[in-house]
Amino acid sequence: MTRMRPTKMSKVRAHIGLIVFAALALSSSIVFARASIDYPIVQLRSLDKITARTQVFEAQVGKTIKFGSVYIKVQACRKAPELEQPESAAFLQIWEVPSETDNEETKPEWIFSGWMFASSPGLSAMDHPIYDVWVLDCLSNEEEQTSSEEAETGEVKEGEGVVEDTESPEASELEE
Protein backbone atom coordinates (compact mmCIF):
# COMPACT_ATOMS: atom_id res chain seq x y z
CA MET A 1 0.00 0.00 0.00
CA THR A 2 1.31 3.37 -0.85
CA ARG A 3 0.50 6.35 1.28
CA MET A 4 -0.33 9.57 -0.37
CA ARG A 5 1.38 12.55 1.08
CA PRO A 6 -0.75 15.61 1.54
CA THR A 7 0.13 18.27 -0.94
CA LYS A 8 0.66 21.87 -0.08
CA MET A 9 -2.63 22.74 -1.79
CA SER A 10 -4.65 20.24 0.27
CA LYS A 11 -3.16 21.68 3.48
CA VAL A 12 -4.16 25.18 2.40
CA ARG A 13 -7.71 24.00 1.64
CA ALA A 14 -7.95 22.34 5.05
CA HIS A 15 -6.86 25.54 6.79
CA ILE A 16 -9.30 27.62 4.76
CA GLY A 17 -12.07 25.18 5.65
CA LEU A 18 -11.27 25.51 9.37
CA ILE A 19 -11.23 29.30 9.12
CA VAL A 20 -14.59 29.34 7.30
CA PHE A 21 -16.09 26.93 9.84
CA ALA A 22 -14.87 29.05 12.78
CA ALA A 23 -16.17 32.24 11.13
CA LEU A 24 -19.60 30.68 10.56
CA ALA A 25 -19.77 29.39 14.12
CA LEU A 26 -18.83 32.80 15.51
CA SER A 27 -21.20 34.73 13.25
CA SER A 28 -24.15 32.43 13.98
CA SER A 29 -23.75 32.95 17.71
CA ILE A 30 -23.67 36.71 17.17
CA VAL A 31 -26.68 36.67 14.82
CA PHE A 32 -28.82 34.66 17.25
CA ALA A 33 -27.99 36.79 20.29
CA ARG A 34 -31.20 38.63 21.10
CA ALA A 35 -31.55 42.22 22.10
CA SER A 36 -33.69 42.75 25.17
CA ILE A 37 -35.35 45.69 26.84
CA ASP A 38 -35.05 46.40 30.57
CA TYR A 39 -38.34 46.79 32.43
CA PRO A 40 -38.85 48.27 35.91
CA ILE A 41 -41.38 45.72 37.20
CA VAL A 42 -41.49 41.91 37.29
CA GLN A 43 -44.67 39.89 37.73
CA LEU A 44 -44.09 36.68 39.71
CA ARG A 45 -46.29 33.82 40.79
CA SER A 46 -45.51 31.90 43.96
CA LEU A 47 -46.87 28.64 45.32
CA ASP A 48 -46.94 27.24 48.83
CA LYS A 49 -46.92 23.48 48.14
CA ILE A 50 -48.28 22.59 51.58
CA THR A 51 -51.37 24.80 51.52
CA ALA A 52 -51.67 25.07 47.70
CA ARG A 53 -51.85 28.84 48.15
CA THR A 54 -50.72 30.87 45.15
CA GLN A 55 -50.03 34.56 44.92
CA VAL A 56 -49.23 36.88 42.04
CA PHE A 57 -46.71 39.54 43.03
CA GLU A 58 -45.49 42.58 41.19
CA ALA A 59 -42.17 43.95 42.40
CA GLN A 60 -39.98 46.76 41.21
CA VAL A 61 -36.42 46.00 40.22
CA GLY A 62 -34.20 46.52 43.24
CA LYS A 63 -37.00 45.80 45.73
CA THR A 64 -37.59 42.79 47.96
CA ILE A 65 -40.88 40.92 48.40
CA LYS A 66 -41.83 38.27 50.93
CA PHE A 67 -43.89 35.09 50.55
CA GLY A 68 -44.11 32.86 53.63
CA SER A 69 -40.58 32.60 54.98
CA VAL A 70 -39.03 33.36 51.57
CA TYR A 71 -37.61 36.72 50.52
CA ILE A 72 -37.25 37.52 46.81
CA LYS A 73 -35.05 40.38 45.58
CA VAL A 74 -35.47 41.39 41.95
CA GLN A 75 -32.19 42.49 40.39
CA ALA A 76 -33.28 42.82 36.72
CA CYS A 77 -36.21 42.17 34.40
CA ARG A 78 -35.74 41.95 30.64
CA LYS A 79 -38.11 41.25 27.79
CA ALA A 80 -37.61 40.66 24.07
CA PRO A 81 -38.81 43.42 21.72
CA GLU A 82 -42.38 43.08 20.43
CA LEU A 83 -41.40 41.91 16.93
CA GLU A 84 -39.26 39.03 18.21
CA GLN A 85 -40.25 35.75 19.83
CA PRO A 86 -41.81 36.61 23.22
CA GLU A 87 -39.54 36.02 26.21
CA SER A 88 -39.39 37.56 29.66
CA ALA A 89 -36.58 36.86 32.08
CA ALA A 90 -35.73 38.14 35.54
CA PHE A 91 -32.61 37.87 37.66
CA LEU A 92 -33.79 36.91 41.15
CA GLN A 93 -32.05 36.34 44.45
CA ILE A 94 -34.15 34.22 46.80
CA TRP A 95 -33.40 33.31 50.39
CA GLU A 96 -35.29 31.85 53.32
CA VAL A 97 -35.32 32.79 56.96
CA PRO A 98 -36.23 29.54 58.73
CA SER A 99 -38.71 29.78 61.58
CA GLU A 100 -37.04 30.32 64.93
CA THR A 101 -36.54 27.31 67.19
CA ASP A 102 -35.93 27.47 70.92
CA ASN A 103 -32.15 27.21 71.21
CA GLU A 104 -30.94 27.86 67.68
CA GLU A 105 -30.00 31.16 66.09
CA THR A 106 -31.68 31.36 62.69
CA LYS A 107 -29.60 32.52 59.75
CA PRO A 108 -30.93 33.27 56.28
CA GLU A 109 -30.12 30.58 53.69
CA TRP A 110 -29.75 31.03 49.93
CA ILE A 111 -32.34 29.13 47.93
CA PHE A 112 -31.76 30.52 44.44
CA SER A 113 -29.75 33.15 42.61
CA GLY A 114 -29.96 33.46 38.83
CA TRP A 115 -32.10 34.11 35.77
CA MET A 116 -35.62 32.70 35.53
CA PHE A 117 -37.40 32.57 32.16
CA ALA A 118 -41.17 32.95 31.73
CA SER A 119 -41.36 30.65 28.70
CA SER A 120 -39.30 27.87 30.35
CA PRO A 121 -39.88 27.84 34.12
CA GLY A 122 -38.16 24.46 34.49
CA LEU A 123 -34.98 25.61 32.76
CA SER A 124 -33.71 27.51 35.78
CA ALA A 125 -36.03 26.57 38.60
CA MET A 126 -35.84 27.21 42.30
CA ASP A 127 -35.44 23.96 44.25
CA HIS A 128 -37.31 24.18 47.55
CA PRO A 129 -39.50 21.60 49.32
CA ILE A 130 -42.26 24.08 50.25
CA TYR A 131 -42.17 27.07 47.90
CA ASP A 132 -42.09 27.58 44.13
CA VAL A 133 -41.57 30.91 42.41
CA TRP A 134 -41.65 31.62 38.70
CA VAL A 135 -41.63 34.62 36.36
CA LEU A 136 -44.82 35.54 34.52
CA ASP A 137 -43.86 38.77 32.74
CA CYS A 138 -41.91 42.01 32.78
CA LEU A 139 -44.05 45.11 32.95
CA SER A 140 -43.66 48.82 32.32
CA ASN A 141 -45.00 51.40 34.76
CA GLU A 142 -48.19 51.74 32.68
CA GLU A 143 -48.93 47.99 33.02
CA GLU A 144 -48.35 47.96 36.78
CA GLN A 145 -51.96 47.30 37.73
CA THR A 146 -52.72 43.59 38.04
CA SER A 147 -56.10 42.54 36.74
CA SER A 148 -58.69 41.86 39.44
CA GLU A 149 -58.81 38.18 38.41
CA GLU A 150 -55.06 37.74 39.04
CA ALA A 151 -55.16 39.76 42.24
CA GLU A 152 -57.74 37.37 43.69
CA THR A 153 -55.82 34.15 42.97
CA GLY A 154 -54.39 33.94 46.45
CA GLU A 155 -54.77 35.17 49.96
CA VAL A 156 -52.11 37.62 51.13
CA LYS A 157 -51.05 37.00 54.70
CA GLU A 158 -49.94 39.75 57.02
CA GLY A 159 -46.31 40.70 56.48
CA GLU A 160 -46.19 39.40 52.90
CA GLY A 161 -45.70 41.36 49.72
CA VAL A 162 -43.23 44.20 49.21
CA VAL A 163 -40.99 44.72 52.23
CA GLU A 164 -38.75 47.64 53.06
CA ASP A 165 -34.99 47.11 52.95
CA THR A 166 -34.88 47.54 56.72
CA GLU A 167 -37.33 44.63 57.18
CA SER A 168 -35.49 42.09 55.02
CA PRO A 169 -32.50 40.14 56.32
CA GLU A 170 -29.18 41.72 55.44
CA ALA A 171 -27.26 40.11 52.58
CA SER A 172 -24.21 39.91 54.87
CA GLU A 173 -26.16 37.47 57.08
CA LEU A 174 -26.58 34.97 54.25
CA GLU A 175 -24.54 31.80 54.38
CA GLU A 176 -22.01 31.49 51.58
In this structure, is residue 25 part of a structural domain?
no
When pLDDT is cut at 50, 70 and 90, the band that residue 150 belongs to is very low
Predicted confidence at residue 18, as pLDDT, reads 56
Predicted confidence at residue 127, as pLDDT, reads 87
In this structure, is residue 7 part of a structural domain?
no
In this structure, is residue 2 part of a structural domain?
no
In this structure, is residue 12 part of a structural domain?
no
Q: Which residue has the higher pLDDT, 105 or 43?
A: 43
CA proximity to 132, closest of 79, 159, 96, 86: 96
Domain range spanning residue 156?
37-173
Cα(17)–Cα(23) distance, rounded to whole angstroms? 10
In this structure, is residue 53 part of a structural domain?
yes
In this structure, is residue 8 part of a structural domain?
no
In this structure, is residue 73 part of a structural domain?
yes
Predicted confidence at residue 101, as pLDDT, reads 57
Predicted confidence at residue 64, as pLDDT, reads 93
Mean pLDDT calculated for residue range 151-173: 58
DSSP labels, 25-93? HHHHHHHTPPP-EE-SEEEEEEEETTTTEEEEEEEETT-EEEETTEEEEEEEEEE--TTS---EEEEEE
On average, the pLDDT of the chain sits at 76
Q: Which residue has the higher pLDDT, 141 or 46?
A: 46
Cα(48)–Cα(152) distance, rounded to whole angstroms? 16
